[in-house]
Amino acid sequence: MKKTVILCFMILSLTLFSNAAIKVGLFGGFALTNEANYGNGIAFGGHLGFELTPNIAVELRATRFSFDVTGSDTGLSKGKMAVMPLELNIQGRFPVGKSIIPYIAVGGGYSLNSFDLDAALLDPWDAVGMTIEETVKSGLAIFVGLGLDFAIMPGPNPGQGLFINLEARYMMSKTSGSWTLTDQVSKISTGADLIDLKLDTIMLGLGLKYGF
């Protein structure tokens, strides 16, 4: 039943907005984390947008960034965290002429997270026959952002052409994980959950969009 409703909604949407402009783009930038023992990283990704009206657009977005974790006794140990949020957002767009379109965005999605421990931590433990493993789960994420599309090669219609995109987004995400320490000889193991792992991140991006 649920699937049927979603399908009907999609068909209706495509019918209603069959003239919607489509925008595709790529971007790169910085991911600035909010936790004391997290570093910052480079972010990049791509998006596919549907401009439903001149003032409303929806966008599918995939971003990837990673950052160093310096480690703490209660959270993750020293290593590298990779985050790939997949996001659906809705944008309120406020065109100023044909060339400048500021917008605000709100969205939600799912963040695919992974964590690799630093070899400098693992190797000495491995040398004495102990294995450390730490994992993080993927989880839901909420996004807010604001940005600006600037047409450098405007198309015949508003929303069409080549745009430079500047954007700042804030991702709120909280996940959990676990750690285990295993004796390689006896296979005795201990471990615990890691809770409240905050992945709140500011992403500053610069990219190109092309509107059809």
Partner 1 sequence: MKTKKLNPIFLIFCLAVFGLILFVPTKASLQVTRPEPPPPEDLGATAVEKDVLNPKIEYVLGKLYNIYLMQGADAAREFASMRGIDLDGNQVRVVAESVFANRTQNLFPEAAALKAHIQAIGGKVETTADNLVQSMVPISSVELLSQYPLVGYLRLPFKPVAMEVTSEGVNSTSANLWQSLIPYRNTAGANVCVLDLGFSGYTSLLGTELPSSVKTMSFRSDGSLTASEVHGTACAEIIHDMAPNAALTLVNFNTDVEHRNAVNWIANQTPKIDVISYSIGWYNVSDGKGTGPICADVDRAANSGIVWVSAAGNDALDHFEGTFNDPDGDRWYNFPDGSEIEAFYVPAYYLVAAFLNWDDWGTWSGTSYSGSSNDYDLYLYYKSTTSNTWYLADYSLGIQNGTQRPRESIGYWYSTASRWWGVGIYKWSATRACKMELFTMGNSGAINNNVPAGSLLVPADSASAVAVGAVDWSDDSREPYHTYSSQGPTHDNRIKPDLSAPSRVSCSSTTYGNLGFSGTSAATPHVAGAIALLKEKIPFTLEQIYQVLEGRAKDLGTAGKDNIYGAGSLKLKKN
Q: Would you count residue 120 as binding partner 1 (CB under 8 A)?
A: yes
Phi, psi of 11 (to 5 degrees): -65, -45
Phi, psi of 120 (to 5 degrees): -65, -25
Among 5, 36, 96, 128, binds partner 1 (CB under 8 A): 128
Q: How many whole angstroms separate alpha carbon 76 and alpha carbon 179?
A: 8
Cβ distance to partner 1 smaller for residue 58 or 122: 122
What number of other Cβ atoms are within 10 A of residue 184's Cβ? 12
Least Cβ distance, residue 144 to partner 1 (angstroms): 35
Alpha-carbon dihedral sign for residues 69, 74, 75, 79: positive
Residue window 36-75: x/- pattern of binding to partner 1, with contact defined by CB under 8 A: -------------------------------------x--
Least Cβ distance, residue 75 to partner 1 (angstroms): 10
Least Cβ distance, residue 78 to partner 1 (angstroms): 10
Number of residues that bind partner 1 (CB under 8 A): 22
Among 4, 18, 190, 196, binds partner 1 (CB under 8 A): 190
Tell me the residue type at 95. P
Q: How many whole angstroms separate alpha carbon 199 and alpha carbon 203?
A: 12
Q: Would you count residue 127 as binding partner 1 (CB under 8 A)?
A: yes
